[in-house]
């Protein structure tokens, strides 16, 4: 797979992952570019990686952490549900998106990122452990409790309707 092909396939995945955490659109684009610049320079490593998606998101994650050290305020996005070119369409989905966003904001940052990876990107706990640089057991237990809380909140919300 050459670089352009890789970029075409994964640009949305990487951008969406960054936007999930970064509220500033321009900073997100900057980190996005930085990420793919590193990918271009590390292209030889690609043959050795187990999961291309996890490898790309790990690079993106590290770039975000670097920026976090510089300016914490720019991170921790209230996800732009329904804004930009979100995949959501229609009023009901917008309301659902805002609702789910509120639920996510009640989780800590790492759990939120794990939840995003598992649900939105269909990644495994092993992938998320690789991306976040955490032991797989830690990711598993955090995802377990975060998912349980989400289900509980979802159930409460449905009962209240």
Partner 1 sequence: MINDFKLELIDAYINKELNSKQKIAFYELLKTDSDFKMLFMQEFELHKQLKQLKTQIDDATKARVLQNIYRQNRSQAEVVNAVKNYFINWSLRMAVPSPILPYINNNILRRCLQ
Contact positions toward partner 1, by CB under 8 A? 4, 7, 11-12, 15-16, 19-20, 29, 32-33, 36-37, 40-41, 79-81, 84-88, 93, 96-97, 99-101, 104, 115-116, 118-120, 122, 124, 140, 144, 147-148, 150-151, 154-155
Residue among 7 and 62 whose Cβ is closer to partner 1: 7
- Coil/strand/helix, residue 44: helix
- Coil/strand/helix, residue 3: helix
CB of 36 to partner 1, least distance (A): 6
CB of 106 to partner 1, least distance (A): 14
Contacts of 29 (CB under 8 A, 6+ apart): none
CB of 29 to partner 1, least distance (A): 6
Instruction: In whole angstroms, give the CA distance from residue 40 to residue 106.
Output: 36
CB of 104 to partner 1, least distance (A): 8
The alpha carbon dihedral of 82, 121, 64, 134 has a sign of positive
Residues 125, 118 contacting (CB under 8 angstroms): yes
- Coil/strand/helix, residue 24: coil
Residue among 16 and 64 whose Cβ is closer to partner 1: 16
């Amino acid at each position: 797979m050459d670089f352009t092909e890789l970029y075409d396939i994964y640009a949305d995945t990487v951008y969406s992952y960054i936007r999930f955490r970064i509220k500033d659109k321009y900073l997100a684009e900057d980190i996005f570019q930085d990420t793919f610049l590193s990918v271009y320079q590390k292209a030889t490593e690609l043959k050795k990686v187990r999961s291309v998606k996890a490898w790309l998101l790990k690079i993106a994650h590290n770039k975000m952490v670097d920026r976090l050290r510089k300016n914490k305020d720019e991170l921790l996005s209230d996800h732009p549900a329904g804004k930009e070119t979100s995949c959501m369409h229609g009023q009901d989905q917008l309301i659902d998106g805002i609702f789910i966003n509120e639920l996510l904001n009640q989780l800590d940052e790492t759990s939120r990122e794990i939840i995003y990876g598992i649900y939105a990107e269909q990644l495994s706990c092993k992938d998320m452990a690789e991306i976040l640089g955490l032991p797989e057991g830690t990711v598993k237990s955090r995802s377990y409790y975060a998912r349980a809380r989400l289900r509980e909140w979802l159930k409460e919300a449905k009962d209240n309707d």
